[in-house]
């Protein structure tokens, strides 16, 4: 039986031995390879399928890894990984100990820049190009591949603005498929749509040319003739260049082309039919994101001041539920976390109650806006911080483990975490009752723990915790949803009189009355959080103990001072010592 082309290819040097006429065959095989593995191992699908031809063309024509290729976000880089020495390992993608789902410098010399968060590629590639210039290297090519949603972000614009006044050897490739995770938004999207239909506009009234780039395109990103001809030409064009490529997200798998939102990361699917494997989830608790979305709709019905804001995670955060009910009161601002936060601040100055929902990891990008625009002016913005804690397979770039530490030090800001869906609802309810300060409510990725999550709203007094279990010797203090692991650990000790369990709920302000009682009643304290130990919840408890000269032993469980890679949430919690079993071991040391 004759071997496939892909079987012969371990690295781009092998690829470069192929004839141009063989590339479409390779593209077909590469697509099949990606589909077959992602169907069972899960991961990001649509984006990688969309850039198969572009990936092959880039490695075919450029001399990678000497020429530097930077992928933006990196969720589209599966083809790149497979063609750059990782084909045999690709089945381990995103699993514990396996390949990362994103380019990563420590994984391969072909991964020139670590990514996961969007809109960094132009800055990084420009930095590399300027470094080459300073080193006197005239030969090296520097290429950033960025999507239409990612290029609309502030960071990407900052980089274009800089690049346009340099003579750096930089090629920016815009992979325009008119969609991010959800359909792309904004005036730039409208402009790009017009350019696709009206080539004259691209030639005359061109926003990229105005920034001093040599613009070409739009070209068909699935057509090798067009791609190879244009990329070859651009190799010898000096200075900053911009190639506008049109592709279809999910290309080559019918369902992925037709349902681009779902097939961004579809979970398991049938590799032959392409259908997503339907799992009956009726008996399972809702996802936290849906409790947020549904609760916001209920609150917005009663309180006309409520609006919702998301930076490009309309589906992921379930803000789409508000959008479907009140389209005028829900804002998807694109990948623009900084803008989302300051937009919320502006709205709050005018008496609106903005619920700004942002993944914990992406809020990192808007840190100054949280401090300078919201907290400093004490504006009552409600931050609903989704994907807080370890998120699993997306890994180090996406774990939401820093927010407790980076928010707790900000004056005026209330920081809390619901233990379950009811508490999430009640905290959201409390937040729109005329609160005079900003509040951050953090909750995890995935499902909650309750079946009866929808009950009458009850306000929660700010800065109050609750006793879940009374003990005498060891007090376990948890913050938020990680309480479930503590409960499971303590249940294994039954009959238990020694171990108490308290959900502090608020890391700021702390429930000092409750803490005084705990420190008086127990000798040993164990704090548990799904966040960074340095500066986090446990540290807050330690500060309290020091301030009041308590001498109890305090053990802090949480995410240690290193980046945590990918794996299932359960595996990673085990690894860092916050799974039920690991918490139990820590408790037993004090018994």
Ligand X SMILES: Cc1ncc(C[n+]2csc(CCOP(=O)(O)OP(=O)(O)O)c2C)c(N)n1
Place of tokens 């992979």: 175
Whether 249 sits among the annotated catalytic residues: the reply is yes
Binding site for Mg ion (CB under 5 A): 147-149, 177, 179
Query: Which residues in 553-572 contact ligand X (CB under 6 A)?
Result: none
Q: Tell me which of ligand DXP, ligand X, Mg ion, none is bound by residue 312, counting a contact when its beta carbon lies within the kind-specific cut-off of 5 to 8 angstroms.
A: ligand X
495: cis peptide before it, omega within 30°?
A: yes
Nearer to Mg ion, 76 or 420 (CB): 76
420 is in an annotated binding site: no
SS3 readout for 377-422: CCCCCEEEEECCECCCCCHHHCCECCHHHHHHCCCCCEEECCCCHH
Each residue 244-283 as x (binds ligand X by CB under 6 A) or -, in order, gives -----x----------------------------------
Query: Which residues in 353-412 contact ligand X (CB under 6 A)?
Result: 362, 365
378 is in an annotated binding site: no
Residue facing ligand X at closest CB distance: 147
148 binding ligand X? (CB under 6 A): yes
The sign one gets for the Cα dihedral 435, 439, 445, 447 is negative
425 binding ligand X? (CB under 6 A): no
Rounded least distance, CB 178 to Mg ion, Å: 7
118 is in an annotated binding site: yes
- Do residues 221 and 76 touch, judged by C-beta distance below 8 A? no
- Find all residues with CB under 8 Å of 489, minimum gap 6, and list them: 476, 580, 581, 583, 584, 587
Q: Which of 251, 365, 425, 445 is catalytic?
A: 365
317 binding ligand X? (CB under 6 A): no
Tokens of residue 550, six digits: 């308590």
Nearer to ligand DXP, 185 or 375 (CB): 185
75 binding ligand DXP? (CB under 6 A): yes
CA 218 to chain CA centroid, nearest Å: 29
User: Exposed, middle or buried, 493 (CB in 10 Å: 0-12/13-18/19+)?
Assistant: middle
What gap in Å lies between CA 157 and CA 142, rounded to an integer?
18
Nearer to ligand X, 166 or 259 (CB): 259
Tokens of residue 556, six digits: 């802090």
- Strands 499-503 and 466-469 come out as antiparallel
Helices 121-134 and 154-163: angle between axes, nearest 10 degrees:
30
Element (H, E) at 241: strand 241-246
What gap in Å lies between CA 567 and CA 298, rounded to an integer?
35
Rounded least distance, CB 227 to ligand DXP, Å: 24
Rounded least distance, CB 362 to ligand DXP, Å: 8
Q: Tell me which of ligand X, ligand DXP, Mg ion, none is bound by residue 387, counting a contact when its beta carbon lies within the kind-specific cut-off of 5 to 8 angstroms.
A: ligand DXP
Q: Tell me which of ligand X, ligand DXP, Mg ion, none is bound by residue 394, counting a contact when its beta carbon lies within the kind-specific cut-off of 5 to 8 angstroms.
A: ligand DXP
Q: Tell me which of ligand X, Mg ion, ligand DXP, none is bound by residue 335, counting a contact when its beta carbon lies within the kind-specific cut-off of 5 to 8 angstroms.
A: ligand X
Upper half-sphere CA count for residue 50 (Cβ side, 13 Å): 30
Judged by the rule CB under 6 A, the positions of this chain that interact with ligand DXP are 44, 73, 75, 181, 265, 316, 387, 391, 394, 445
Residues contributing to the annotated binding site for thiamine diphosphate: 75, 116-118, 149-150, 177, 337
User: Which residues are catalytic, by number?
Assistant: 249, 337, 365
């Amino acid at each position: 039986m004759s071997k496939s082309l892909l079987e012969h290819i371990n690295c781009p040097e092998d690829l470069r031995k192929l004839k141009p006429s063989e590339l479409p065959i390779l593209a077909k095989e590469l697509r099949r390879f990606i589909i077959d593995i992602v169907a069972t191992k899960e991961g990001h699908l649509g984006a990688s399928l969309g850039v198969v031809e572009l990936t092959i063309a880039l490695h075919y024509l450029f001399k990678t890894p000497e020429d530097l290729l930077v992928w933006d976000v990196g969720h589209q880089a599966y083809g790149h990984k497979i063609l750059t020495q990782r084909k045999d390992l690709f089945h381990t993608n995103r699993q514990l100990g396996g390949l990362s789902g994103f380019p990563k410098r420590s994984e391969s010399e072909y991964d020139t820049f670590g990514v996961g968060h969007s809109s960094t590629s132009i800055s990084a590639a420009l930095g590399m190009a300027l470094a080459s210039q300073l080193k006197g290297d005239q030969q090296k090519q520097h290429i950033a591949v960025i999507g239409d949603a990612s290029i609309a972000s502030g960071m990407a614009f900052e980089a274009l603005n800089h690049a346009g006044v340099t003579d750096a050897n930089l090629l920016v490739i815009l992979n325009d498929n008119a969609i991010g995770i959800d359909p792309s938004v904004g005036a730039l999207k409208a402009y790009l749509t017009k350019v696709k239909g009206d080539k004259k506009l691209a030639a005359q009234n061109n926003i990229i040319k105005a920034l001093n780039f040599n613009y070409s395109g739009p070209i068909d990103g699935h057509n090798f003739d067009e791609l190879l001809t244009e990329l070859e030409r651009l190799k010898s064009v000096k200075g900053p260049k911009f190639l506008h490529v049109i592709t279809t997200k999910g290309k080559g798998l019918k369902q992925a082309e037709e349902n681009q939102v779902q097939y961004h990361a579809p979970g398991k699917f049938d590799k032959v039919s392409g259908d997503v494997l339907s799992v009956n989830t009726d008996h399972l608790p809702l996802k936290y994101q849906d409790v947020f979305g549904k609760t916001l709709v209920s609150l917005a019905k009663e309180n006309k001041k409520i609006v919702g804001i998301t930076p490009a995670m309309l589906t992921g955060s379930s803000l789409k539920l508000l959008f479907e009910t009140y389209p005028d009161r829900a804002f998807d601002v694109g990948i623009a976390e900084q803008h989302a936060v300051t937009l919320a601040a502006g709205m709050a100055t005018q008496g609106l109650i903005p619920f700004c929902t942002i993944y914990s990891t992406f809020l990192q990008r808007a840190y100054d806006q949280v401090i300078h625009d919201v907290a400093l002016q004490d504006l009552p913005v409600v931050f609903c911080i989704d994907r807080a804690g370890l998120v699993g397979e997306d890994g180090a770039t996406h774990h939401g483990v820093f927010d407790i530490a980076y928010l707790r030090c900000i004056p005026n800001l209330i920081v809390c975490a619901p233990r379950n869906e009811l508490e999430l609802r009640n905290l959201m309810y409390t937040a729109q009752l005329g609160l005079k300060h900003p509040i951050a409510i953090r909750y995890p990725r995935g499902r909650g723990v309750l079946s009866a999550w929808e009950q009458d709203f009850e306000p929660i007094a700010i800065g109050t915790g609750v006793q879940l279990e009374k003990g005498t010797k060891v007090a376990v203090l948890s913050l938020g949803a990680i309480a479930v692991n503590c409960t499971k650990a303590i249940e294994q000790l039954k009959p238990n009189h020694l171990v108490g369990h308290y959900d502090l709920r608020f890391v700021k302000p702390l429930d000092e009355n409750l803490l005084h009682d705990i420190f008086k009643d127990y000798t040993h304290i164990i704090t548990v959080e799904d966040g960074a130990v340095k500066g986090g919840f446990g540290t807050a408890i330690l500060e309290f103990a020091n301030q009041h000269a308590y001498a109890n032993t305090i053990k802090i469980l949480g995410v240690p001072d290193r980046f945590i890679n990918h794996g299932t949430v359960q595996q990673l919690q085990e690894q860092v010592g916050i799974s039920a079993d690991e918490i139990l071991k820590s408790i037993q040391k004090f018994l």
